[in-house]
């Protein structure tokens, strides 16, 4: 039995059609103690077909209704996945103080104002240069933004880009990845282990095992497990692999959050 899934989307996210209640019911069937609903908020997202903005007045009505309805069966965590870009930091800060979030994921879906998903970011870039520029942007983010709890799918850049292979080796980028991990640890923040890499055919979690090992070696303690589910059948998908990888990396605990404060659960 798993304790919690800390990265779950609902139909309030522009790229998801699964009802909030379906995600919660699935988590209950799986025996989870907690589920963190972390819908997308991406200000100034370049693809107008995916605005990634939420009417939080409506969101909170649904969230509070379901939290009360299922309070004796599961703890429902109010989370959010912030799509970070440096020029929208004030909008993000103003947004985060308006609602009582328990948990905030900081992710980067747009780099240099160019979309990763549709491939704009990769145009005219060789693979190694594209990956390096992505990590440079992540490093800038964690050095200049602190209002988050875990950084999302740090090395998922290899999910995208029309290259011949999807290989991203820690050794090829170890200096900048180490700088990112050190900045996260110094700021008392954490990372997630995101299992969606298996669904996307990468054959690994994000981050990969070598990065997880390095995070532990550098003193990293805060780590959540998330499926990045956009469908109810993907809640807790590949968590067996994630737990095994965490143990191999040297972790004996996972992290959960309440009121933006971490606590630790033995695995």
Q: Distances from the Cα of 85 to the Cαs of 68, 79, 106, 150, 247, in angstroms?
A: 34, 19, 10, 16, 33
Match 């509070």 to its residue by tokens.
Answer: 64
pLDDT at 1 over 90: no
pLDDT single digits (tens) 96-155: 999 999 999 999 999 999 999 999 999 999 999 999 999 999 999 999 999 999 999 999
Fold of 4-266: TIM Barrel (3.20.20)
Confidence label for 42 from pLDDT (cuts 50, 70 and 90): very high
Burial per residue of 78-105, b for 16 or more beta-carbon CB atoms within 10 angstroms, e otherwise? bbbbbbbbeebeeebeebbeeeebbbbb
What pLDDT is stored for residue 49 in this prediction? 81
The average confidence (pLDDT) of the chain is 97
Q: Which two tokens stand for residue 205?
A: 């979690």
Confidence label for 210 from pLDDT (cuts 50, 70 and 90): very high
Confidence label for 205 from pLDDT (cuts 50, 70 and 90): very high
- Burial (CB < 10 A; 0-12, 13-18, 19+), residue 57, is exposed
Q: Which ranges of the chain does DSSP label H, i.e. alpha helix?
A: 20-29, 56-69, 89-96, 127-144, 174-186, 196-199, 209-217, 239-249
Of 164, 226, 230, residue with least CA distance to 190: 226
Could you give the strand order of the β-sheet that contains 223-226, starting from the edge strand earlier in sequence? 4-8, 34-41, 75-83, 103-107, 150-151, 190-194, 223-226
Q: Is the pTM of this model over 0.85?
A: yes
Rounded average pLDDT over 45-74: 93
Q: How far is residue 7's CA from residue 236's CA, in Å, rounded to a whole number?
A: 9
Of 131, 106, 102, 120, residue with least CA distance to 46: 120
* Three-state DSSP state, 167: coil
């Amino acid at each position: 039995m798993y304790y919690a899934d800390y990265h779950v989307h609902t139909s309030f996210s522009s790229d998801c059609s699964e009802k909030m209640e379906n995600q919660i019911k699935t988590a209950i069937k799986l025996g989870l103690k907690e589920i963190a609903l972390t819908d997308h908020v991406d200000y100034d997202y370049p693809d107008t077909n995916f605005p990634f903005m939420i009417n939080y007045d409506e969101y909170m009505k649904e969230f509070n209704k379901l939290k009360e309805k299922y309070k004796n069966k599961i703890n429902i965590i109010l989370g959010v996945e912030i799509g970070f870009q440096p020029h929208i930091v004030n909008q993000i800060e103003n947004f985060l103080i308006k609602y009582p979030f328990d948990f905030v994921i900081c992710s980067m879906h747009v780099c240099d104002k160019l979309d990763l998903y549709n491939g704009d970011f990769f145009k005219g870039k060789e693979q190694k240069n594209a990956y390096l520029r992505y990590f440079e942007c992540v490093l800038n983010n964690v050095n200049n933004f602190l209002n988050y709890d875990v950084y999302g799918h740090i090395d998922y850049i290899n999910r995208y880009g029309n290259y011949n292979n999807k290989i991203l080796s820690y050794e090829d980028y170890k200096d900048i990845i180490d700088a990112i991990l050190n900045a996260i640890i110094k700021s008392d923040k954490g990372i997630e282990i995101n299992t969606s890499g298996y669904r996307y055919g990468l054959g690994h979690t994000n981050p990969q095992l070598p990065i997880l090992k390095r995070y532990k070696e550098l003193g990293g303690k805060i780590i959540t497990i998330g499926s990045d589910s956009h469908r109810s059948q993907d809640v807790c998908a590949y968590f067996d692999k994630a737990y095994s990888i965490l143990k191999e990396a040297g972790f004996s605990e996972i992290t959960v959050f309440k009121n933006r404060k971490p606590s630790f659960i033995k695995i």
